[in-house]
Amino acid sequence: MPPEGEIGARVAALNLAYRHHGATAVVERALKDPAVGNVALVSSFGAESVVLLHMVSVIAPGTPVLFVDTRMLFAETLAYQHELAERLRLTDLRTIRAAESALAMDDPDATLHRFSTDACCNLRKVVPLEGALAGFAAWITGRKRYQGATRAMLEFFEAETQTRMKINPLAHWGREDVEDYMIENRLPRHPLVARGFPSIGCAPCTSAVRPGEDPRAGRWRGDAKAECGIHFIGGKVVRDPVSEEKVA
């Protein structure tokens, strides 16, 4: 069977096996399931990141946590990252950054985002993360169906490439589930949430959200862009469950 068919079959089998599981059970079992392989948690340390960070810290604190520092993050995000790393005792936190040589060549004056947000995201986030994920069979994301049309059909498991999958334990959660988990576990909030930022990315490309707007309306406001690029498959945003053909 070709690689894309093999991983497609594994993803389908995992989604079938885990279809009645809750988020915590998905995290706990996926971290130990040989059908998944070695796993990393990728975290932006954004508005809702603390939920998965807390789950992993309780279930398997030695799980690698990859944090992409684009060098354009809010100061509040960096402070929050330090706070959570200490509070949750994350033992394998890896900060990922673009190579200095790449920045010097492609964005020497840090203005690339003004001309091409896609190119900036690719340089500062997509390429560095891809390098950091080399060797991992899967990575955990915090994406949820309620976060917009591009995520409306998320499943627990997706085939990202011919050799790697993504795990979305919170796919079926709503805002109230996230809120309840934070309250029940007394988890600290990202300081920008109280200032109207329900979704937080890089400072130049993130604005506050007005009442009634989509939670991600403040990301790349005025641009058709909806994703930074790390959740693209085959160069395209995934809007439905991934099939074997989409991985090829």
| pLDDT tens digit sequence for 213-229 | 888 888 888 776 655 55
pTM for this one?
0.84
Cα separation of 100 and 88, whole Å? Answer: 30
Q: What is the pLDDT, as a whole number, of residue 1? A: 33
Whether the per-residue pLDDT at 5 is higher than 70: the answer is yes
CA distances from 120 to 221, 227, 228 (A): 16, 12, 9
What's the token pair of residue 83? Answer: 């706070």
The torsion defined by the Cα of 206, 146, 196 and 181, in degrees rounded to 10, comes to -120
- For 197-221, what is the mean pLDDT? 88
In sequence order, the 6+-apart residues with CB closer than 8 A to the CB of 148 are 214, 215, 216, 226
Which residues are part of the catalytic machinery? Answer: 228
Domain boundaries, the chain: 3-240
Architecture of domain 3-240: 3-Layer(aba) Sandwich (3.40)
**Which one, of 236, 25, 214, 29, lies nearest residue 118 by Cα?**
236
Strand bridging mode 165-167 / 232-233: unpaired
Q: pLDDT averaged over the chain?
A: 86
Per mean pLDDT, which range of 21-25, 35-39, 149-153 is the poorest?
149-153
Q: What is the pLDDT, as a whole number, of residue 176? A: 92
**E strands in the chain:** 39-42, 65-68, 93-96, 138-140, 157-159, 165-167, 232-233, 236-237
- Residue-wise pLDDT for 148-166, tens only, equals 665 657 889 999 888 899 9
Q: What is the pLDDT, as a whole number, of residue 130? A: 93
Q: What is the pLDDT, as a whole number, of residue 183? A: 97
**E strands in 55-110:** 65-68, 93-96
In sequence order, the 6+-apart residues with CB closer than 8 A to the CB of 175 are 146, 215
Do 43 and 77 form a contact (C-beta atoms < 8 A)?
no
Query: Percent of the chain having pLDDT more than 90?
Result: 62
Furthest CA-CA distance within the chain: 52
Cα separation of 83 and 248, whole Å? Answer: 41
In sequence order, the 6+-apart residues with CB closer than 8 A to the CB of 115 are none
